[in-house]
Structure 1
Amino acid sequence: MRGYFLAFDPTFLSAVAPFAVLAVILFTRHPSTNYIFDEQEALLANPYVNAKGGLGFLDAIHRDFWGLPPDRSVGSYRPLPNFLWRTIWAVTNQPFFHHFYNVLFHAANAALLTCVTFWLTRKRGLAYLVGLIFVGCAVLTEAVSGIVGIADVLGGMGAIAALAALALPGWAMPFAVFAAVLFGLFSKESALVCVPLIPLAALIAAPLTHPTRPARLVRALVALLAAGAAFVLYVELRRRWFPAPMPAELTAPLPEGAPLVKRALHDALVWFHQAPLPRDPLNNPLSTADTPHRIAGALRVYWRGLTQIVFPWTLSGDYSYPQEPAPDRLVFFESVAGAAMMALPPLGSLALWIAALRREHLERRERRSVRAAFLVDGGQATSRRWPLLIAGALLAAAAVGLAAYDWHALRPAGRVQWLRSLPLVLWPLPFLPALLLGLGLLVEGTRPLPCPATADRSAWVPLRRGYAGLCIAAIGLTWVVVSYFPHSNIPVVLPTVRAERFWYFPAIGSSLVLAVAFSWLHEALAGSTLAPRTRWSWRAWVTPVLFVLFFGFQCVQAYRHAMDYRNDLEFWAATKEAVPSSAKAHLNYSVMKGARGALPARLAASQAAVELAPKWPMAHVYTGDTLCRMHRADEAFPHYQRGMDLGPNELSLIALALQCLHDEKRLAAYEAELRRLAEEHPGTWLAYLAVDTLDNGEKHGGVDPKYRPRGYNEGPKE
């Protein structure tokens, strides 16, 4: 076993096999599992996946994650997962298979991250350690075991692939980065964090990926241009393929004299054209808080998520109100800790990078003094410098020259219509490939820095042990903060206050940091790994024991949480135990019990939800519905009345209440109360549906069938 991992350099195939076995053990659901929570909307009720309404295969680009058109979207545009679902759905609609490939993709991501780490550090043990920590990270269970987590897993795959692309030659790297980032963006919009993070990684890792020709600034610039081009193309394609309505706050013009920064931000958001995000105080209590209290609450959530990465004592599929309420004060331990962990990691990255630069400089200076050990500007490695330099200079100059000629001559003259028809933000894209290729060739043609050679002087042998760990940790620290920030509820208010699947991108960085920390601790206690060891002292066993405890706990918690996905009843039972203050967890548990005929248990759970969220219409209506199905319609009506009064436009809830009253022959008994409710809420669904059902109930058999809610575990309505 030791020889498998340490005797040979890791490859994708050698790493993916053990990681796939581990991922299958930890995250695979029971074969009899059913569709749970959001999976029902994402697959069973998804009109695109079910090919309803004449939707063709390519129509995924015109639908959101849930298969909805732009005017009904909740803002999640992720066509690649839908393409995958539609393809597999044609073969099988069993939920087990739709989660199983997610598990395998996660193992593939861990294997690719292992390869990236090895390419950067040339340390086999450290590379496998990174992959092991990532594949067993317990907080990722929701993303890996849950079917809807495919968006996070595929988005993470794009991000890791973009990191891997940094090891390619300069002329190939930008095109691979472009493709990887574009893949990530069409999988999940969270991949936009790659735009700043991949250039940062290129800047820091340049002496590791290309020790003889680091060219940090040029490689970072090329990566930035490639990632930025992918982002711009993604936004422009999304705007055309998926023309969602503009959020109301962006349609109103800014007041006269608005600051330049505010105007620029407003214009950028208008161009980005994100579909309006739903604001439900139950799913995100921070949505109703003022900005300072929202940020304080968001920092608290961030801190709790960070602790879950290291010590996942509690894992849950839901954190709804009032489990994560808006705080009543701004300064408390978790808000301060969250703020500190937002600010300190980037500063730590800067300090580590400076230390790495210093060590690299010292190493190169020391090696220059040993002339015999170097291959300096000669031999096979540099025989094609001048052709590369000439070709690169010609391509870059041609790209810049053609762009300038088009801008100053062709466009004013009205020539080359296809270029003129491009939006201004897309205008540079036709010239960008030649520029990127030229810059890449220039980088590969620069004079190499001194670097030790093999005995036959035929290949480069990079010296990285002195600073590779510093570079990896520097990348990882900033990666955690930047990749989580879009999910933090700080820049924008999200539909959800907290979700563990949000940590898939940050876990890439945290795995790098934790692995380097364990490596440094082991070297500090046991001595250098380069020195031969005749026997191990007790100090040499400290880090392995700590890692076994850490990793073992991660695996146990991941397996336990994955077992919560056996079926929907087990899932919500575990959720209400993990987060007892979540009204949504109690109410969904009540629905699962009701679906199995356990009405007394359903009633108790529904009443618990009402106590936790007394202003939640659904809790009141579902409590009334439970009583009504127990043939206690007179006890049910006060709950129905309260729920309809709180949510006069909740069509499904109103229809549910009216239908059960009709079925129990008690609708006419409450006609006066229902008509009064309708009068109190004019112009609402309550006003229309209550009166229509009272007047036409006998004809329709209750509520008009086209307004009745979709039944539990059913597909999309025709």
Structure 2
Amino acid sequence: MKAYFTEQDPTFFNALLPALIIVALVYTRSPATNCIFDEQEALLANPYVNGDHLLWRDAFKRDFWGLPPTGSIGSYRPIPNLIWRALWRLREHPWLPHWVGLMLHAVNAALVSRLALAIAPKNRAFAWLAGLTFISSAVLTEAVTGVVGIADVLGGMGVLLALLALRLPAYLMPLGVFAALLFGLFSKESVIVAVPLTAWAALVLAPALHPSHPRRWLRALLALGSAAAALVLYTELRRRWFPVALPPELTEPLPEGAPLAKRLLHDFMRWFAQPRLPTDPINNPLVNAETPDRIAGALRVYARGLGQTLLPVTLSGDYSFPQEPIPTSRFTLPTLLGGLAMFVAPLVGACAWIASWLRERRERRASTADLSIAAPSATTPSPTTQAALSNVEAESKIHEEIQSLEDRSVAPSAATSLEDSSVAPSAMTSPEDSSVGAQQAAPRSSWWARRAPRVDRPNWSPRMITWLILAWVLVWVPLAFFPHSNIPVVLPTVRAERFWYLPVVGLSFGYAWLLTWLVTRPRAALWSRARLVGITSVTLFIGFQLLSARLHALDYTNDLTFWRATARSSPNSAKAHLNYSVMLGARGYMKERLVEGGRAKELAPEWAMAHVYYGDALCRMKRASEAWPHYLRGFELKPADQNLISLALQCLWDERAWQPHEAELLALADKYPGTWLAHLARDLVLNGEKHGGVNPTYRPRGYNEGPKKK
């Protein structure tokens, strides 16, 4: 076992086997699991995945949830849908898609190890640790264990393949980057950030990936051009296959005098035509924040997520309101730390790149000087060459005796130059060519004396690699997270751990290099105190990550376990408590459901769903008269929510408790004309007997049901 890691380089296939074992042991869910959280919509309610009226190619005409452009809620990701549809044909259960996600994550870990080996080919420990750090990162548990996270995993795969394509010759590299990023973009749209990231990696890592001929600026421009070409093709195809209406803020021109950066972003977003994302202040409280407050909240979230990558003490599946509220102050410690990590770190990374460039020049000069000094003594003639030199010497002596002084001067000088020159042994290959070689040796020797030997592949020092990794990682991490930060655009979610998949790709190299330094830096005996401290630190770090990941993966046993764990890890998330109450109610724990629902209502008193669901719990406990005030409050908070209103009215009908409130229902219909409340209330009063309550067409989809057949 030890020899597998100490005597073998972590090539892709060597690294893949242990990666598969680790993901199977750490991230696997129970085979008895059910659809959890977003998996309900992504699998069960997805008409492309489990429907029978759509063609396979229609994946490119549907959004992530299987909806057409006219009904899209954002997120255009065809490749995950293709995988899910194929797997759903084998078995209609979430475990198989979950297992495929695990295998893909293992592939990515092997790619990380292979890239690390390319960056530091002399440091096998670093390459193994990079893959281990990545695969054990507990903050990625949501992306790996949850089915919906396959989009992040596939997007990360596309980016990693693009980074590995940077190793190719300059004439092949653009094609590799183009194909890899096109795959990544069709997996998840946030891979757009790989356009500048790939160019930066090509610029910074060129000396490591191509030590003989870095040509960093040429490679960076080629990478940038091919990545941009992939983005253009992806965008134009998506606009053709999945045309969406632009939101009002993009259709209307900006006011006169708008800053140049804002105008450029506006024009880009118009062209990019991102499907409109839903906005819900419960899922993301920052939608209602002023821009400075939104940025402060986003930086706070970034700082906390960055801390989780280092010390994942608490992991949660949800951070909804008020777990991550609008900040009351713009200058808290987490916000300041997030600002430093987001905006100052890239500047430090740029300085580190300059330092790496200067270091590279010094090491190239030193290597050239050492090679120039060592070249004469290092050249040991082969037996064939020694024979040739002996013949030259013999011929020289004969010519000295029988020829004139002018004729005698040629051979000895040639023999001397051959003996003392630094020409390679292959300059003479046979005794028959000795006289010709003797004549050419003198000018070749003087040419090498004027020109220092070229270093074909410099052996970079650890300090040089340190500067390269610092420069790469300090820019990579904030830029990779930026699209998910809620700074450029407001997202449907304030915070999610799966957003860290791409940033952790870069962080893994930084953490692994530090861990390698802790273990290998001490030069004393093998079990010296310093080495023991380093080995202990590495063991504790990796062990804690693996333990945290496994414990969080166990939260995905089933929906009840998941929401119970989420309510405990995010005690201020109203959504977590409400969903936990629903899971309890589905299993008949009505009293416990009422308690959790009441907690959600307390945390979010302006949330219509919390009031309606609390009333629904009372109604199903045969306490319909107590439920009406909560229903009424929910109706008034959101009269346009079809599902909430039909859910409440149907329970009132089933419990025969709607007649006492008939007048109030009609009054509400008059108060909110043109809403679902008005339509459903009147329809219940007029046609309730005919439909058995609410018209079945308008009733909400039942729990664990697929799309409604129309």
- Same fold per superposition (TM over 0.5): yes
* 8 Å CA contact retained: 1:208, 1:464: no
Q: Aligned pair 1:653/2:650, yes or no?
A: no
Aligned match of 2:464: 467
Q: Aligned pair 1:71/2:64, yes or no?
A: no
Cα drift, residue 2 of structure 1 = 2.9
The 5-angstrom pairing of residues 57-456 of structure 1 reads: 57-122=56-121, 123-369=123-369, 370-371=371-372, 452=455
Cα drift, residue 239 of structure 1 = 0.7
Cα drift, residue 271 of structure 1 = 0.5
Counterpart residue identity of residue 651, structure 1: Q
User: What stretches of structure 1 of length at least 5 have no aligned partner?
Assistant: 381-447, 454-459, 528-532
Query: How far apart, CA to CA, are the structure 2 residues paired with 1:352 and 1:116?
Result: 20
Which of 490, 493, 496 is residue 493 of structure 2 equivalent to?
A: 496
Aligned match of 1:557: 548
Q: Aligned pair 1:483/2:480, yes or no?
A: yes
Query: How far apart, CA to CA, are the structure 1 residues paired with 2:514 and 2:463?
Result: 15
Query: How far apart, CA to CA, are the structure 1 residues paired with 2:225 and 2:603?
Result: 50
Q: Aligned pair 1:611/2:602, yes or no?
A: yes
The 5-angstrom pairing of residues 19-58 of structure 1 reads: 19-52=19-52, 54-58=53-57
* 8 Å CA contact retained: 1:360, 1:466: no
Query: How far apart, CA to CA, are the structure 2 residues paired with 1:565 and 1:508?
Result: 24
Change (3 A) 1:377 1:64: farther
Change (3 A) 1:377 1:110: farther
TM-score normalised by L of structure 2: 0.87
Counterpart residue identity of residue 586, structure 1: H
Cα drift, residue 449 of structure 1 = 11
**3-state DSSP of counterpart to 2:652:** helix
Q: Aligned pair 1:709/2:700, yes or no?
A: yes
Query: How far apart, CA to CA, are the structure 2 residues paired with 1:325 and 1:688?
Result: 35
Counterpart residue identity of residue 343, structure 2: A
Change (3 A) 1:632 1:174: same
Change (3 A) 1:70 1:660: same
Counterpart residue identity of residue 219, structure 2: R
* Matched residue count: 638
Question: For each residue in 1:129-184, what CA deviation from the matched residue of structure 2 results, as whole angstroms up to 9, or x when unmatched?
Answer: 11101000000000000000000000000111111111111111110000111111
* 8 Å CA contact retained: 1:206, 1:216: yes
Query: How far apart, CA to CA, are the structure 1 residues paired with 2:626 and 2:252?
Result: 47
* 8 Å CA contact retained: 2:79, 2:186: yes
Question: For each residue in 1:358-412, what CA deviation from the matched residue of structure 2 results, as whole angstroms up to 9, or x when unmatched?
Answer: 22111111122223559999999xxxxxxxxxxxxxxxxxxxxxxxxxxxxxxxx
Query: How far apart, CA to CA, are the structure 2 residues paired with 1:624 and 1:182?
Result: 49
Q: Aligned pair 1:590/2:581, yes or no?
A: yes
Query: How far apart, CA to CA, are the structure 2 residues paired with 1:463 and 1:253?
Result: 53
Change (3 A) 1:451 1:584: farther
Counterpart residue identity of residue 483, structure 1: A
Aligned match of 1:625: 616
Q: Aligned pair 1:643/2:640, yes or no?
A: no
* 8 Å CA contact retained: 2:368, 2:455: no
Query: How far apart, CA to CA, are the structure 2 residues paired with 1:463 and 1:637?
Result: 74
* 8 Å CA contact retained: 1:655, 1:689: yes
Cα drift, residue 51 of structure 1 = 2.4
Cα drift, residue 85 of structure 1 = 0.6
**3-state DSSP of counterpart to 1:547:** helix
Counterpart residue identity of residue 112, structure 2: L
Query: How far apart, CA to CA, are the structure 2 residues paired with 1:379 and 1:235?
Result: 58
Structure showing greater Rg: 2
Counterpart residue identity of residue 296, structure 1: A
Aligned match of 2:530: 539
Cα drift, residue 550 of structure 1 = 1.0
Aligned match of 2:410: none
Aligned match of 1:428: none
Change (3 A) 1:157 1:379: farther
* 8 Å CA contact retained: 1:65, 1:77: yes
Query: How far apart, CA to CA, are the structure 2 residues paired with 1:482 and 1:189?
Result: 15
Which of 484, 504, 521 is residue 518 of structure 2 equivalent to?
A: 521
Query: How far apart, CA to CA, are the structure 1 residues paired with 2:425 and 2:30?
Result: 59
**3-state DSSP of counterpart to 2:39:** helix
Change (3 A) 1:552 1:260: closer
Change (3 A) 1:189 1:644: same
Cα drift, residue 281 of structure 1 = 0.2
Aligned match of 1:566: 557
Cα drift, residue 334 of structure 1 = 0.9
Which of 691, 701, 707 is residue 700 of structure 1 equivalent to?
A: 691
Question: For each residue in 1:31-52, what CA deviation from the matched residue of structure 2 results, as whole angstroms up to 9, or x when unmatched?
Answer: 1111101001000100000124
Counterpart residue identity of residue 605, structure 1: E
TM-score normalised by L of structure 1: 0.86
Query: How far apart, CA to CA, are the structure 2 residues paired with 1:577 and 1:517?
Result: 33
Cα drift, residue 66 of structure 1 = 0.4
Query: How far apart, CA to CA, are the structure 1 residues paired with 2:423 and 2:703?
Result: 71
Cα drift, residue 492 of structure 1 = 0.7
Cα drift, residue 252 of structure 1 = 1.4
Change (3 A) 1:349 1:209: same
Q: How large is the RMSD of aligned CA atoms in angstroms?
A: 2.0
Question: For each residue in 1:530-563, what CA deviation from the matched residue of structure 2 results, as whole angstroms up to 9, or x when unmatched?
Answer: xxx6543111111110111111111111000000
Query: How far apart, CA to CA, are the structure 2 residues paired with 1:203 and 1:451?
Result: 22
**3-state DSSP of counterpart to 2:281:** coil
Cα drift, residue 464 of structure 1 = 5.2
User: What stretches of structure 2 of length at least 5 have no aligned partner?
Assistant: 380-421, 427-450
* 8 Å CA contact retained: 2:60, 2:242: yes
Change (3 A) 1:262 1:692: same
**Percent identity, aligned pairs only?**
55
* 8 Å CA contact retained: 2:212, 2:458: no
Counterpart residue identity of residue 333, structure 2: F
Question: For each residue in 1:334-369, what CA deviation from the matched residue of structure 2 results, as whole angstroms up to 9, or x when unmatched?
Answer: 111111111232122123222222221111111222
Counterpart residue identity of residue 687, structure 1: A
Query: How far apart, CA to CA, are the structure 2 residues paired with 1:192 and 1:355?
Result: 29
* 8 Å CA contact retained: 1:121, 1:464: no
Aligned match of 1:599: 590
Counterpart residue identity of residue 587, structure 2: R
Cα drift, residue 75 of structure 1 = 1.5
Query: How far apart, CA to CA, are the structure 2 residues paired with 1:557 and 1:347?
Result: 33
Cα drift, residue 253 of structure 1 = 2.3
Cα drift, residue 111 of structure 1 = 0.5
Aligned match of 1:508: 505
Query: How far apart, CA to CA, are the structure 1 residues paired with 2:424 and 2:625?
Result: 93
Query: How far apart, CA to CA, are the structure 1 residues paired with 2:424 and 2:317?
Result: 59
* 8 Å CA contact retained: 1:143, 1:152: yes
Query: How far apart, CA to CA, are the structure 2 residues paired with 1:202 and 1:489?
Result: 28
**3-state DSSP of counterpart to 1:566:** coil
* 8 Å CA contact retained: 2:518, 2:535: no
* 8 Å CA contact retained: 2:349, 2:471: yes
* 8 Å CA contact retained: 2:212, 2:455: no
Q: Which moved more, 1:560-569 or 1:352-361?
A: 352-361
Question: For each residue in 1:171-217, what CA deviation from the matched residue of structure 2 results, as whole angstroms up to 9, or x when unmatched?
Answer: 11110000111111100011111100111010011111111111010
* 8 Å CA contact retained: 2:153, 2:501: yes
* 8 Å CA contact retained: 1:244, 1:275: yes
Cα drift, residue 92 of structure 1 = 1.2
Change (3 A) 1:449 1:314: farther
